[in-house]
A and B are shown apart, each in its own frame.
Chain A
Amino acid sequence: MKIFKAIGLGILASALAISGAAAQTKTVKIATEGAYAPWNFTGAGGKLEGFEIDLANDLCARMKVTCEIVSQDWDGIIPALNAKKYDAIMAGMNITDKRLEVIAFSRPYASGLHGFATMKDSPLAKLAGTGERVNFDKDPAAAEKIIGEWKALLKGKTVGTQTATVNLAFLEKYFKDTATIREYKTTEQHDLDMAAGRVDAIFAAHSSLKATIDQPEFKNMMIAGAGVSGGVLGRGVAVGLRKDDAELKTAFDTAIQAAIADGTIQKLTQKWFKVDMSPQG
């Protein structure tokens, strides 16, 4: 038995030595979902593309580190960060209080609106406020009004959204007793179910909904109701990091600050979202 123990320790020690050596070359492993166009998605042949892939490469160049971008299912993306599967998350993730309990965030690198989408011939196409913006932090009165109007139309309907997102938190806060909420692992899956008519509406980030509607298969889908932000929807999209990794947080903060200052983020959001989505404030 002693021999086995010795061999085991030997293997472990050499494994540690290898990982120790790897750490010195400063490779930062970044996880993304790879199923959230145009933020991050997988193109023909399986290559990762999107806003966050471009941004990650830019930030890594600024931080002078080598980056490795890996894809990871959304519903396990935070536990796997804490399990040290990778060092950072760039996957359209919003800063929320709930998430801040378990991980740290860099400063935001983008912000955007969220809202409903439905089919053009659906009664839900009449959801109030289409084309308008409501910020739940700055304008609580308008927020309360629009929630009331939406509740009346959504009564008894089924709404799809991605699990473990701010979108789900929003639906659960305001429509838990009004509508049936169905949770999906990816936005692509709820898009497919919206087109198939299994749900009456979906709730997601406008950026992602617009990318879907642009595709010919989804030309009968439309964004319905006002674009909302703030409140449980969080304080902008940022890099998720482990709490004890202060060094990496500083590096990301500095790099993002620089990318905002020289207009890189504005340029990249224009390229991928057709609008400027640089963080406000």
Chain B
Amino acid sequence: MQQLSYFELIGFGPNGWGNALLIATGMTLAVALCGFIAGAVIGTLVAWAKLSSSIVARSLADGYTTVLRGIPDLLVIYLFYFGGSAALGAIGSLFGAEGFIGMPAFVTGAIAIGIVSGAYQAEVFRGAFQVVSRGELEAARSVGMHRWLMFRRVVAPQVLRYAIPGLGNTWQLILKESALISVTGLVELLRQSHIAAGSTRRPFDFYLTAAILYLLITWVSTTLFQRAETYSMRGIRRAS
């Protein structure tokens, strides 16, 4: 057997892994994006709880962020992977459903990322909310806006504007975290590299390719977030 060159190996030929790697990269992006959205929803709820006047809600939210930021993400993902289906099965049998309630690896991965990143996004949203000036909220209330209208018209647009840099950081974090999902068997970029490295016995070539692809995604998304930031700040005068 002749040694394949690097480009034959990662190319699109009969012995090339190019296609598989591209699909896997798409999977990484998809699971990261779904995780990011799930995390944004969880983060908003938790930030809301943290800012609420109820002691119970506040301490629950604090407990959640403390625990999630204190244990390794790898453990959270394992726990969710093994515990998630068992819990779902238990709930299912409560309702009289027999047997198999499986959660696809993709859903497990996206939810696990959402739960981990929710803790980080909660802090981002909370920080951003505190920047919204009290005066504006009072003004909104004095013109008779309801809570929901005020949230939609006054709070959300401003919080989002101040949260963009923080969200950019969380996105990077999520992107890297999605690599850990490989342990659950979802064929994303790292797992595909893993499989390819094992079956061709060329680990360096494939892990290097994976690293380059991750860096490429990072670079593109950093640029996009910077654009978004510039756009959202177009009406604001900077202090400096």
Contacts and interface: CB of A to CB of B under 8 A. Distances in A.
B82 A23 contact: no
Nearest to A37: B199
A29 B199 CA distance: 24
A84 B101 CA distance: 7
B85 interface: yes
Contacts of B82: 76, 79-80, 83
Interface stretch (A40-48, A163-171, A172-180, A224-232): A40-48
A16 B201 contact: no
Contact of A16 (B78, B101, B184, B192): B101
Contacts of B148: none
B97 interface: yes
A71 interface: yes
Interface string A34-71: 11010001111110000000000000000000000011
Interface string B202-214: 0100000000000
Task: Classify the interface of chain A: helix, strand, loop or mixed.
Answer: helix
B19 interface: yes
Task: Classify the interface of chain B: helix, strand, loop or mixed.
Answer: helix
Contacts of A215: 1, 201
A85 B199 contact: no
A76 B185 CA distance: 10
Contact of B198 (A20, A87, A186, A216): A186
Nearest to A244: B99
Given A19-B100, A84-B102, A216-B1, A34 B195 contact: yes
Contacts, number: 95
A244 B129 CA distance: 52
Nearest to B20: A46
A45 B20 contact: yes
Nearest to B9: A44
Interface string B99-112: 11110000000000
Interface in A206-235: 215-218
A183 interface: no
Given A35-B198, A192-B203, A44 B100 contact: no
Interface string A2-45: 00000000001101100110010000010000110100011111
Contacts of B83: 83
A16 B14 contact: no
Q: Number of contact residues on A: which range applies?
A: 35 or more
B195 A19 contact: no
A44 B198 contact: no
A76 B81 contact: yes
A85 B198 contact: no
Contact of A19 (B14, B19, B102): B102
Interface residues of B, number: 36
A19 B101 CA distance: 7
B97 A20 contact: yes
Given A44-B14, A84-B85, A23 B101 contact: no
A83 B20 contact: no
Contacts of A195: 201
Interface string B173-199: 000000000011101000010011111
B17 A16 contact: no
Contacts of B168: none
B92 interface: yes
Contact of B199 (A13, A44, A72): A44
Contacts of B14: 44
A74 B17 CA distance: 23
A42 B89 contact: no
A87 to B, nearest CB: 7
B95 interface: yes
A19 B97 contact: yes
B216 interface: no
Contacts of A191: 201
Sorted nearest first, the 5 A-B pairs with minimum C-beta distance are A188-B198, A46-B20, A83-B85, A42-B195, A16-B97
Given A42-B195, A188-B197, A217-B201, 9 more contacts: A16-B101, A43-B199, A72-B185, A73-B185, A76-B78, A79-B82, A80-B81, A83-B84, A216-B1
Interface of A: 12-13, 15-16, 19-20, 23, 29, 34-35, 37, 41-46, 70-73, 76, 79-80, 82-87, 186, 188-189, 191-192, 195, 215-218
8 contacts: A16-B101, A19-B102, A35-B195, A46-B20, A83-B81, A83-B83, A87-B100, A218-B201
